[in-house]
Amino acid sequence: MMEKDKEAGRVATSLDCDWGFTEDSPRNGLITSLSVGNCFVKTKAIAAEGQRVFVKCWLPSERWLSLHGTVTYCIQRVGFSVNFDDLTDEHRQMIELLMDYYRAEGE
């Protein structure tokens, strides 16, 4: 199954994050899957499809990664998926490194 995930460009993660509808990101969650274009945030807090959200996570390299995007679907009391908006090359590279980190951790 891991090979299939690699081909799909998605990895399973367990990455604590802060998120919210403003850059302050007052809510917390757990990023359980990640790709260069989106992620799934596990949280009991409610978000609605189409809402813009900010997601910040503390990386294993001990620095913040701050992203923003649009909620594409929600599962009540479970979490939501976010498509990232306007990723810079630096953000893409950081996400790819993070994905590599979790792939290696899963081997």
Number of domains in the chain: 1
The verdict on residue 48 lying in a domain is: yes
Q: What angle is formed at CA 37 by the lines to CA 34 and CA 38, rounded to 5 degrees?
A: 45
CATH code, domain with 61: 2.40.10.220
The verdict on residue 69 lying in a domain is: yes
Q: What is the 3-state secondary structure (H, E, C) of 17-77?
A: EEEECCCCCCEEEEEEEECCCEEEEECCCCCCCCCEEEEEEECCCCCEEEEEEEEEEEECC
The verdict on residue 107 lying in a domain is: no
The verdict on residue 15 lying in a domain is: yes
What's this model's pTM, rounded to 2 decimal places?
0.88
The verdict on residue 92 lying in a domain is: yes
Mean pLDDT of 38-56: 96
- Domain range for 7 is 2-100
- The β-bridge partners of 65 are 57
CA atoms of 75 and 77, how far apart (whole Å): 6
The model's confidence at residue 107, banded by pLDDT at 50, 70 and 90, is: low
**What pLDDT, in 10s, does the model give residues 13-46?**
999 999 999 999 999 999 999 999 999 999 999 9
